[in-house]
Amino acid sequence: MVGLSPARELPIIAKIALGSLKNKLLLLLPACIFLGYFAPWAITPLLMVGGFYLCYEGAEKLYEAIAPHYAHKHEAAVLGTSDPVELENQKVSGAIRTDFILSAEIMALTLANVAASNIYIHTAVLAAVGILITLAVYRVVALIVKADDVGLALATSSVGVVRAFRRGLVTGAPVFLSILAMIGTAAMLWVGRSILVHGMAELGFHGPEHFIGEIALGVSAASAYLASVLHWTTTSAGQTMLAILIGGFTIILVHISVPLMKRLRPQNP
């Protein structure tokens, strides 16, 4: 929602929710059923493509936090527009793409949990999970985004508890959104690096997983009491660093390739 009109917040959330629902029911559900029966070997490589995208998105958010000036230049080069309508459409499309990748992971995990059932059970469960998750997530998103507006709407109340609640909403909403943004960035890197590291191992490239695992074992051996915690923390940190490196490399590729593709694209007469 950053850089967009507050009046467009709910319509934008509705657009993203509708796009998410279409992704799950019209694209991912049939794809999961088809790949699960006819090409299960293709699921891991396709999820890894999504993992690259999530690493790119996560690294881009870190780039914006560390070097906002250069990150804005990168965004301008990729988006290439200052028109508010076009900017909104592009941001909605980007959010739907990110949602698509995360939804694909959810649908794949759901399919794995009902793998022993028949195709009718697969279809019903995937559809139910897709609909329920979409409704739950975007209702919560709408409530979070409009929390400060709810606080302002309570400004005329003379009840002490209501006034205190209003102040908490108005002052706390920006802080909460900032924290949520950091959690979202961490989540994208978390999911992206998990998909990539485990996907590479499934495809026979065990090097990254083994390398990170050996470091984690060495660190965890330093303390018998904190062995599990140290092993988990080191593994997560190593995989996250790999995700940031992959994401950073992808940012460079996107920064070079997108403007080039725009220049090579035929112009309408």
pLDDT of residue 16: 92
For residues 157-178, average pLDDT: 72
* Reported confidence tier of residue 82, pLDDT bands at 50, 70, 90: low
Q: Is the pLDDT of residue 111 over 60?
A: yes
Instruction: Answer whether 208's CB lies under 8 Å from 227's CB.
Output: no
**Each residue's pLDDT tens digit, 18-59:** 999 999 999 999 988 888 888 888 888 888 888 888 888 888
Report how far Cα 181 is from the mean position of its chain's Cα atoms. 11
Q: What is the mean pLDDT of the chain?
A: 81
The closest of 142, 113, 145 to 129, measured between CA atoms, is: 113
Q: Is residue 203 part of a domain?
A: yes
pLDDT of residue 65: 80
Q: Is the pLDDT of residue 71 over 70?
A: no
Domain encompassing residue 193: 6-264
Q: Is residue 269 part of a domain?
A: no
Q: Is residue 123 part of a domain?
A: yes
For residues 236-240, average pLDDT: 86
Locate tokens 């690294």: which residue? Answer: 59
The closest of 220, 263, 206, 215 to 241, measured between CA atoms, is: 215
Instruction: Answer whether 74's CB lies under 8 Å from 252's CB.
Output: no
Q: Is residue 192 part of a domain?
A: yes
**Any residues with CB less than 8 A from the CB of 208 and at least 6 apart, and which?**
197, 200, 201, 242
- HSE-CB for 15 with a 13 A CA cutoff: 16
**Following CA atoms 255, 260, 262, 264 in sequence, which dihedral angle do they give, to the nearest 10 degrees?**
-170
Instruction: Answer whether 244's CB lies under 8 Å from 58's CB.
Output: yes
Residue length of the chain = 269
Instruction: Answer whether 90's CB lies under 8 Å from 81's CB.
Output: yes
* Integer Cα distance of 156 and 162 in angstroms: 10
Number of domains in the chain: 1
**Each residue's pLDDT tens digit, 218-235:** 888 777 777 888 888 888
For residues 112-131, average pLDDT: 85
Q: Is the pLDDT of residue 262 over 70?
A: no
Q: What is the token pair recorded at 93?
A: 């499309």
pTM value is 0.70
Q: Is the pLDDT of residue 64 over 90?
A: no
Q: Is residue 1 part of a domain?
A: no
268 or 140, which is more confident? 140
10 Å CB burial of residue 34 (0-12, 13-18, 19+) is: exposed
Q: Is the pLDDT of residue 80 over 70?
A: no
Q: Is residue 188 part of a domain?
A: yes
